[in-house]
């Protein structure tokens, strides 16, 4: 029997890492060997854990994913470098080609589902993945363009809560791990709720103080975790706020959104979080078992 593929993960979101640990551990031909919370730690993990493949987030503190990939390739200059796969939330047109041109071996967009992972490893390691079970149903959420004119237009076709994504998490077996409560869907939800409220509290302070660069970072962080936990409307409005804060920072005179527009994006984030959280409680109680109304 072929040895399991050794998977390493580099991402700054603890919630996302916990979900990927569960997903990888649910597959008989995959073995989770290590993780890191930023690019610098990712380089160390690549050297110490000897993964067969590395899933690499792009936007991280300390060291971004592209620079971490370049450092890992330098370390393996004589050969034997594992494939490195770029990951971003809410893929934009041309992202795959862009990151491949920078030296990544493949590309996958968040949120990552069982079927996405299966197809990725089929491309990278065809013989190993031949006997994996078929993927689950497609995600209810759909990619959206950051060029949408309004946040309301972006969220109009999105479900309040991505039930299928949560069902995927519910039925993943929890691996034996020292990380404890996060290795269950309930633990992941509690971690997400805690961090989401912390992020929203920080956003409110940053909006009031005008720290646009940090606001963009926090919105990006909540965008990724919301997408991973099946809160697509929250993720969409976080992306709006992230891009708007970035424009405010980079071009405050000509391309900057108004303070009122920024406040509106934040208000939508809080509203959609509230409606998704209410729907989540129904799902946990067993009263929601299909796509909620839009």
Give, in words, the CATH class of 5-124.
alpha beta
Task: Say yes or no to pLDDT of 185 above 50.
Answer: yes
Q: Which of 25-34, 149-158, 255-264 has the lowest mean pLDDT?
A: 149-158
Write out the chain in H/E/C secondary structure: CCCCEEEEEECCCHHHHHHHHHHHHCCCCEEEEEEECCHHHHHHHHHHHCCCEEEEECCCCCCCHHHHHHHHHHHCCCCCCCCEEEEEECCCCCHHHHHHHCCCCEEEEECCCHHHHHHHHHHHCCCCCCCCCCCCCCCCCCCCCCCCCCHHHHHCCCCCCCHHHHHHHHCCCCCCCCCHHHHCHHHHHHHHHHHHHHHHHHHHHHHHHCCHHHHHHHHHHHHHHHHHCCCHHHHHHHHHHHHHHHHHHHCCCCCCCCHHHHHHHHHHHHHHHHHHHHHHHHHHCCCCCCCCCC
Q: Tell me whether the CATH fold assigned to 5-124 matches the one assigned to 151-284.
A: no
Sorted by where each begins, the domain ranges of the chain are 5-124, 151-284
Query: pTM score > 0.85 for this model?
Result: no
Q: Which of 78-82, 136-140, 205-209, 251-255 has the lowest mean pLDDT?
A: 136-140
Q: pLDDT tens-digit profile of 224-272?
A: 888 888 888 899 889 889 988 988 888 767 667 888 888 888 888 888 8
pLDDT at 214: 92
Give, in words, the CATH class of 151-284.
mainly alpha
Q: pLDDT tens-digit profile of 67-116?
A: 999 999 888 777 788 899 999 876 677 888 888 888 898 999 888 887 88
């Amino acid at each position: 029997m072929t040895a399991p593929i050794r998977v390493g993960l580099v991402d700054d979101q603890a919630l996302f890492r916990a979900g990927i640990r569960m997903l990888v551990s649910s597959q008989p031909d995959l073995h989770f060997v290590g993780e890191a919370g930023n690019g610098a730690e990712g380089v160390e993990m690549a050297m110490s854990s000897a993964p067969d493949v590395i899933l690499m987030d792009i936007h991280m503190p300390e060291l971004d994913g592209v620079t971490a990939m370049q450092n890992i390739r330098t370390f393996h200059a004589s050969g034997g470098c594992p494939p490195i796969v770029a990951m971003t939330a809410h893929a934009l047109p041309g992202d795959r080609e862009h990151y491949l041109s920078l030296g990544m071996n493949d590309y996958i967009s968040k949120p990552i589902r069982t079927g996405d992972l299966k197809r990725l490893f089929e491309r990278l390691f065809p013989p190993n993945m031949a006997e994996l079970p078929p993927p689950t149903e497609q995600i209810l959420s759909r990619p959206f363009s950051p060029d949408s004119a309004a946040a309301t237009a972006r969220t109009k076709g999105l479900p309040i809560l991505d039930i299928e994504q949560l069902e995927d998490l519910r039925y993943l077996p929890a691996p034996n791990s020292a990380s404890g409560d996060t290795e269950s869907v309930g633990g992941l939800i509690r971690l997400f709720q805690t961090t989401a409220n912390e992020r929203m509290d920080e956003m409110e302070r940053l909006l009031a103080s005008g720290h646009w660069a940090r606001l963009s970072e926090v919105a990006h962080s909540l965008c990724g975790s919301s997408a991973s936990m099946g809160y697509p409307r929250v993720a969409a409005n976080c992306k709006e706020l992230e891009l708007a804060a970035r424009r405010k920072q980079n071009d405050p005179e000509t391309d900057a959104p108004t303070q009122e527009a920024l406040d509106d994006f934040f208000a939508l984030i809080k509203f959609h979080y509230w409606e998704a959280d209410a729907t989540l409680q129904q799902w946990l109680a067993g009263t929601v078992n299909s796509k909620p109304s839009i």
